Amino acid sequence: MRTFGHNTIDAVPNIDFYRQTAASFGEKLSRPSLSELHDELDKEPFEDGLANGEEPSAAEEAAALAAKEGKGGTIKFGWVKGVLVRCMLNIWGVMLFIRMSWIVGQAGIGLTIAVILMATLVTTITGLSTSAIATNGFVRGGGAYYLISRSLGPEFGGSIGLIFAFANAVAVAMYVVGFAETVVELLNDVDALMTDELNDIRIVGTLTVILLLGISVAGMEWEAKAQIVLLVVLLGAIGNYFIGTFMPMESKEPKGFFGYHTAIFIENLGPDFRDGETFFSVFAIFFPAATGILAGANISGDLTDPQSAIPKGTLLAILITGVTYVAVAISAGSCIVRDATGDHNDSLSDTVNCTDAAACTLGYDFSICKEGGCQYGLMNDFQVMSLVSGFGPLITAGIFSATLSSALASLVSAPKVFQALCKDNIYPGLGVFAKGYGKNNEPLRGYVLTFCIGLAFILIAELNIIAPIISNFFLASYALINFSVFHASMANSPGWRPSFKYYNMWVSLAGAILCCVVMFVINWWAALVTLLIILALYIYVSYKKPDVNWGSSTQALIYNQALTHSLNLTGVEDHVKNFRPQCLVMTGYPNSRPALLHLVHSFTKNVGLLVCGHVRTVSRRPNFKELSQDHARCQRWLNKKRIKAFYAPVFSDNLRHGAQFLLQSVGLGRLKPNTLVMGFKNNWSDGDMRDVEIYVNTIHDAFDLQFGVVILRLRDGLDISHIQGQDELLSSQDKPPGGSKEQEVSVSPAKDPESDSGPPKTTNNQSIPLIVKDSKAPLSLTDQRLLETSQQFKKKQGKGTIDVWWLFDDGGLTLLIPYLLTNRSKWGDCRIRVFIGGKINRIDHDRRMMATLLSRFRIDFSDINVLGDINTKPKKHNKLSFKELIEPYRLKEDDMEQEAAERLKALEPWRITDNELELYKAKTNRQIRLNELLKEHSSTAKLIVMSMPLARKGTVSSALYMCWLETLSHELPPLLLVRGNHQSVLTFYS
């Protein structure tokens, strides 16, 4: 490749590098990977060309192929046909023809304009917010659901998507019933009813919805043509009305229509609320007429350029329809009086005694209407627009057009939204409706479902109860769209870059609040029902945790808050009252030592930080792709097991150096580990003593860095990684396709250096995959026992004791950990017993002193035991056992020359000198004696927590230290050796 005239594989910026795998427009290209540009020439590049380690799924590849094949014949709409026409048809509803005049009569021209402007304000803010979201990246099909889910995440998107699709499906029934009622009224006028009114509505409604389904299933092109025809009829009806207002006829005057007159305008300017109506009740009746602004956005997948079409079409539709509503309100209020009798005999020759101001000046006395009973005028005749119009039947055609166009738009919107929701697999079991058919990927199954829902509600034919809930469903969608813009702006994510600039986060927040207020104004109980349904769906989706990642503003805000709080923490000095154990646990792979992980998680969950450290000692370092997949797999396993922990792997030549990296670098600010937790090296005496030296030096390093150290020992060991098929790290998407008989569990270089069982470390250049076979080989008794032991801290512990052997004051960590454990439900039945060292002649005094200290610390205990015989000499056979234990590791300098002894000590620093043995004879005897006491007092304990003996660095050899630990913890229940960093972690001050 030639770039800037030079031969290089480095690529210049190109839009096709940034496409997703299944891009609708253009094909995805792959830029050269970093390894291709950076690695040595003789190395094989490991990247396969997908950016950031992405891999196309089978579904994505199929979608990309389908998109490529069908690109030529796909029907796409521009902003006029796709958005403007649909939105105008949906907003201009039946309300325009049969309720606007009544609203003007009740509220007057002034307040009617206020009602329209208030509704338009809500829809305009929502339109601006919709435009902002729609222009922040490529928009696929799914309308309101797609916009909300990609902004706020699957929890909000999934809940609103379901009810929005359902609302559109029921809206089909509402509009069709409105159409059927008008048809049945016409049939009734000519005495041509088929049965009775209710059943006729059902019959006409059923036939209508079947016809609409046929148009929809025929394809978007036919549906768009039908919408154009309906728009022409609707525009004709509106134009017909306005022409009629300039054509007053004497025959219409008794019914209240006089043409434009100042007297009528002035009289109708103010409100005249009757029958208990108020401003807000009138607003509640009008507002559904302003909805429908998402009709264009709902078919976003069928638009040529959604980013341009949605803002232009939606906002222009709101403007045109808003102006139309205001114009109708002013014209109706200027040429029609509120009440009229319809009787020619009510004309006047003398207006002296007339009390009806406007009618009197025009020669009519309608004052009798104040007593009620009049059938004409703004307040009484819902069909007054037909009276005013130039050609009455055209208004009826307009009503037909308004209802059918809205029904058709809803019938198309519901399946499209539902299909997008099902494709994302938010609700398991609904995937069957995700399938599309034909070149336009039409959701035929969704059409059938919408038809069935609509038909069911048409057959009920009583929509007065469901109607307010549907209006509130739409309003809830508007509220969340507005909140999405506020939330995304608040999160301040670099990915929030809408090309539509005419929005404001605070205006969007005000719009969201307004939508919620309007919900309660329209119908308070319907608003409560809506909120409860959304809440229930939100909780369900949150609980299910769908495996999707859309880069939502929720994620961005969580990041912002985490960063802000982490920075705030750094400005505050640590206080003993806020101390919590933050543990770096040397687990290797998280599933290698489950007992260690479960126990530590028991006292860190919702209390402190837990990091699973993994030192990987391989001679060939894996590439970035392998590393990232491995890391993701381990973190996913932790999340699946509901273990609140982080996984932190490092590469190093040995455990000690890797642990040093982790001890120094893991964490952020105050969120750093302060306690190193390790498993006891059970197989230390069988392996290479250099590994023991590394193990002990790791403990020294932790103390050097002021870490507390905790070591867990179980009789049967901790490491189960050599047992095949145990709790593999693979998730469903990692597993090979069906039919495969074996699965790769984890790619791991055999045992970690600190492992307590299993084969020695591999040294070849290839990592060893652990294979899980479907037919598992029978386990040995040792492995069976190890597996059972590995799960013992996962289940609830029965009644028993946690024995705390607090022999040395390390700041209180030895006491704090058991206290935190007993706060958990798993350990709730266990009681703390405290054991302390003392003298025989001071046992009561020492017990009282410890009881006082524990009560000051507010730590419950069941018993305090003072060990007066702690300094008694150990039994002879136990001393002999210790002597046998240390024999292989002694330097035996008396049997060789001094120079040879020094050389051997330098080569093998772990060896025990005679001088060392003599110097620490008392400490050795104490470990032997403590083991005897432990077996005597704590052999039935659920857990023993004990002060860990310290070895002075440079003086006590690693072999002697391991012999102490081995002797101390031999043949005991689960034992936790704890040594804090000797800084107080408990206080009795408030």
Asked which of 241-245, 541-545, 818-822, 886-890 is least confident by mean pLDDT, the reply is 541-545
Average pLDDT over all residues of the chain = 82
* Residue 820, CA distances (Å) to 599, 824, 964 in order: 11, 7, 28
Residue 3 has pLDDT above 70, yes or no: no
Residue 238 buriedness (CB in 10 A; 0-12 / 13-18 / 19+): buried
Give the model's confidence band at 733: pLDDT under 50 very low, under 70 low, under 90 confident, else very high. very low
Cβ atoms within 10 Å, residue 809:
12
* Residue 71, CA distances (Å) to 20, 66, 117, 310, 985 in order: 16, 8, 43, 22, 67
Extract the tokens encoding 106: 């009740």
- Per-residue confidence (pLDDT) for residue 181, from 0 to 100: 81
- Per-residue confidence (pLDDT) for residue 198, from 0 to 100: 79
The mean pLDDT value for 412-420 works out to 86
**CA distance linking residue 613 with residue 650, whole number of Å:** 8
Q: Do 476 and 501 meet the contact criterion of CB atoms below 8 Å apart? A: no
Q: Do 92 and 402 meet the contact criterion of CB atoms below 8 Å apart? A: yes
- Per-residue confidence (pLDDT) for residue 738, from 0 to 100: 37
Residue 754 has pLDDT above 80, yes or no: no
Asked which of 88-102, 112-126, 264-278 is least confident by mean pLDDT, the reply is 88-102
Q: Give the contacts of 394 (CB within 8 A, at least 6 positions apart).
A: 236, 237, 240
The mean pLDDT value for 699-712 works out to 93
Nearest alpha-carbon partner for 942 in 816, 843, 801, 784: 801
**CA distance linking residue 972 with residue 730, whole number of Å:** 35
Distance of CA 463 to the CA centre of its chain: 35
**CA distance linking residue 871 with residue 230, whole number of Å:** 101
Give the model's confidence band at 416: pLDDT under 50 very low, under 70 low, under 90 confident, else very high. confident
pLDDT in tens, 584-610: 999 989 989 999 999 999 999 888 899
Residue 849 has pLDDT above 50, yes or no: yes
- Per-residue confidence (pLDDT) for residue 49, from 0 to 100: 39
pLDDT in tens, 568-587: 888 888 888 888 899 999 99
- Per-residue confidence (pLDDT) for residue 285, from 0 to 100: 84
- Per-residue confidence (pLDDT) for residue 726, from 0 to 100: 55
- Per-residue confidence (pLDDT) for residue 538, from 0 to 100: 87
The mean pLDDT value for 696-701 works out to 93
As a whole number of Å, the end-to-end CA separation of the chain is 71
Asked which of 221-230, 609-618, 806-815, 831-840 is least confident by mean pLDDT, the reply is 221-230
Q: Do 950 and 979 meet the contact criterion of CB atoms below 8 Å apart? A: yes
Give the model's confidence band at 756: pLDDT under 50 very low, under 70 low, under 90 confident, else very high. low
- Per-residue confidence (pLDDT) for residue 179, from 0 to 100: 84
pLDDT in tens, 502-529: 899 999 999 999 999 999 988 888 899 8
Nearest alpha-carbon partner for 394 in 290, 228, 246, 244: 244
Residue 901 has pLDDT above 90, yes or no: no
pLDDT in tens, 418-463: 888 888 888 877 878 888 887 777 888 888 888 898 888 888 766 6
- Per-residue confidence (pLDDT) for residue 61, from 0 to 100: 43
* Residue 640, CA distances (Å) to 124, 492, 547, 591, 728 in order: 44, 30, 11, 12, 12
- Per-residue confidence (pLDDT) for residue 302, from 0 to 100: 78
**CA distance linking residue 914 with residue 891, whole number of Å:** 8
Residue 728 has pLDDT above 80, yes or no: no
pLDDT in tens, 28-60: 677 776 666 666 665 544 444 343 334 444 444
Three-class secondary structure assignment of 638-654: HHHCCCCCEEEEEECCC
Give the model's confidence band at 21: pLDDT under 50 very low, under 70 low, under 90 confident, else very high. low
Distance of CA 260 to the CA centre of its chain: 58
Report which listed range, 138-147, 157-166, 614-623, 805-814, is most confident. Answer: 805-814
pLDDT in tens, 184-238: 888 887 877 788 877 888 898 899 999 988 888 877 777 788 888 889 999 999 9
- Per-residue confidence (pLDDT) for residue 97, from 0 to 100: 83
Distance of CA 662 to the CA centre of its chain: 30
- Per-residue confidence (pLDDT) for residue 763, from 0 to 100: 35
Q: Which tops the pLDDT comparison, 633 or 369? A: 633
- Per-residue confidence (pLDDT) for residue 28, from 0 to 100: 65
**CA distance linking residue 806 with residue 826, whole number of Å:** 23
Asked which of 201-205, 386-390, 744-748, 890-894 is least confident by mean pLDDT, the reply is 744-748
Q: Which tops the pLDDT comparison, 766 or 36? A: 36
pLDDT in tens, 636-685: 889 888 899 999 999 888 889 999 999 999 998 888 999 999 999 988 88
Asked which of 167-171, 255-259, 766-770, 949-953 is least confident by mean pLDDT, the reply is 766-770
